[in-house]
Structures are given as C-alpha cells and as structure tokens.
Structure 1
C-alpha cells in the first residue's frame, strides 16, 4: 500500500489565503466592514479559524491586505520607465486607482468610516494602505524632478498630499473619479 502520511497539523496553503481574502472582500462589499465578523469570513472561505490567524492577527489586517492586493491589480506601483514620462506614469496610475474605485469605492468608504471609530484600525489602515500609496506617488514625483520634468522647487510630499486629498475628497463626497479627473490632477501638478 502506497499511502502518503499526512503531516502533523494543517498545512498553510496559498489557496486558503486567497479564499480568505476573496471572502473578506466579497462580504465587506455586500455588508460593510463593521457588519462582517471573522466567523462570517471563515465560514464563507471554508477554512478553520486558526488558518486565518496563522496569517493575520486581526480582521483589519486581513481586509487591508485583501484591498491592497486588489488595488495592486488595478494600480501597481509606478516604476521607472524610460519610455514614458513621469507625468504619463502618474496619469496611468491615477486612472488605475480610479478604475479600482469603481468596484471598491463603497468598500473604501466603509473602511474609512470604520477607521474614524476605531483607533487601532485607523493606524492599520494608514500604515497598510494610505501611506504606501502616498509613498508611491511621492517617489514618482521625486523621479520627475531628476530630469527636470518637475521643478526642484516643488515639494513632492506636499504635491502627493494634494493629489491624495483631491481624490479622497471626491471619493468621500460621491464625486466622479474618472480618466478626465486623473488628467486634471496631473495637469495641475505638472502644468499645462
């Protein structure tokens, strides 16, 4: 008999992590962050509670990673590209972000609302989601200064804050986030 011995304990698998993130996103899109429990997520994913806790410490950690992964599918970090100007890279990045918000705008609004009521979640949301996006844009703007595409007299961190403020404000107030708005933001940053 050629029977494989089962290892002690349950192995962690990429499929379980993927299932948990998909379940978390689906449930939060449907019910909102605060109305979704860990029990709901593990039941929907079809995994054991410990499987979730082997990967994430809290529901917030899981949700933020799921949202971050989803955002990365639409708007990956802009990398140095000799064939495209930084202006064009920023425009493409913002269009990707706005495309993602067509799907997950309600989810992000729910996460922002939850962050206002829960200091621990707010810190996790800022560190795990907001800050990395700000750094991506700030780094791109710094790269734009190297060849003179953006004046060295401009402050990339402040410009990044302006960019994020513009689209977060519009997101929170139900305004349109589309390619035209992305081009308008980029036009204000780079001029012309």
Structure 2
C-alpha cells in the first residue's frame, strides 16, 4: 500500500499570510507607512502580489491585521481573578497598551488617517481594534463599581471614552503616551471622584 506522508507545519496559505504580516509590520516600522508599497511587502515576504490580494484588499487592511495580532500580545484582556484591585488592573492594562503605541504609534496614526478616507476600513478599524479595547476598560470600571472602588454615580462608558480620547489625542499630536500618562489617567478616575453620601434608608 502506497502511503504518502502528510505535510508537516503550517499550510502554505497560512505560512504566506504569516510572512506577509511580519514583513508588513517590519517594513512599516523601518520606513514609515507611506513609504512602503504592496510590492515591497510581497517581495520581503517572498510571495507574489496576487497572494497578498487573495487575502487583503488594501495595504491598510493588511497592516491592520498585523497590528491587531501584535496588540493581542501587548494588551490582551486583563484577567479578572488575579486578586488585583480594579485600579491596578486598569493601570497595568493601559501601560501595556501604551507600550505598544510607543513602538507602533506612527503606524497607528497612518491607519487612523487611512480610515478617514475609507468608510469600510474605518468600520473595520473601530470594530476590530478600537471598540474591543474600549469595552475592556469599561468592564474594568464596572467591576470597580461592584467592588466599591468607584462611585455608583460614575458612568463607566463615558469614563472609558474619556480614557481613550485622552491617549488618542496625545498620540495624534505626537505627545508622549507612556506609563506616566497611564498613572495620571487612573489617578483622575479613582482619586478625584465625589464620595458617596451614607445610605440612610
């Protein structure tokens, strides 16, 4: 009986996709988003341009996927059962996010700019990248309310919007987005709240 050996490792399409994302992220970090072409990425990955277009419609779509995976390594959803306070969990999470932004901030600014001229890409950017992290912050703040760390009259969704507005504004204007900013944001949320009056009912 003639038995053929099964291929070992990732399927060719998956290997090509991984190589393209790695090449795209490396080239954009080295040269800047606007200085990297589809042809550059395909050449660096060792694949044909058609292979790239079989998976992504535009350079922005490819870069978004690459950045999305990278963000998952830096800023995964904070664990809920590690015994840390909500304040500590939020600060740790923001520091992780800002560490990523410090490395890929220029790429992020370019993707945000690309999203302004492409409604489909803007929706993908929001749904895959911005909104999930907004929800993570909102969930931490809701947990803080349940644990009595945050006043019940605070609005977690609005506070989360404030958090993201603060660091995206800084990023877009080339200002530092770092651990100091993370600590300052957390202090504003947890230290400058109006204490609740005793419940006399």
Regarding TM over 0.5, the answer is yes
**Preserved contact between residue 138 and residue 157 of structure 2 (Cα < 8 Å):** yes
1:135-171 residue CA offsets vs partner (Å, 9 max, x unmatched): 1111111122221122221111101000000101111
Q: Is 1:22 the counterpart of 2:22 in the alignment? A: yes
How far 1:54 moved relative to its partner?
4.9
- The number of aligned residues is 189
User: For residues 153 and 18 of structure 1, do their structure 2 counterparts lie closer, same or farther at Cα, with a shift above 3 Å needed?
Assistant: same
Q: CA RMSD in A?
A: 2.5
User: For residues 100 and 15 of structure 1, do their structure 2 counterparts lie closer, same or farther at Cα, with a shift above 3 Å needed?
Assistant: same
Counterpart secondary structure, 1:71:
helix
Q: Report what 1:93 is aligned to.
A: 93
**Which segments of 5 or more consecutive residues in structure 1 lack a partner in the other structure?**
none
TM-score, normalised to structure 1, is 0.85
Counterpart secondary structure, 1:18:
helix
TM-score, normalised to structure 2, is 0.82
User: For residues 51 and 190 of structure 1, do their structure 2 counterparts lie closer, same or farther at Cα, with a shift above 3 Å needed?
Assistant: same
**Preserved contact between residue 20 and residue 42 of structure 1 (Cα < 8 Å):** yes
Distance 2:153 2:50 in 1: 52
Q: Report what 2:148 is aligned to.
A: 148
User: For residues 32 and 124 of structure 1, do their structure 2 counterparts lie closer, same or farther at Cα, with a shift above 3 Å needed?
Assistant: farther
Counterpart secondary structure, 2:125:
helix
How far 1:75 moved relative to its partner?
1.6
Larger radius of gyration: 2
Counterpart secondary structure, 1:104:
helix
How far 1:184 moved relative to its partner?
0.5
Q: Is 1:178 the counterpart of 2:200 in the alignment? A: no
Kindly report which structure 2 residues correspond to 1:16-165, keeping only aligned pairs within 5 A, or say none. Answer: 16-165=16-165
How far 1:183 moved relative to its partner?
0.5
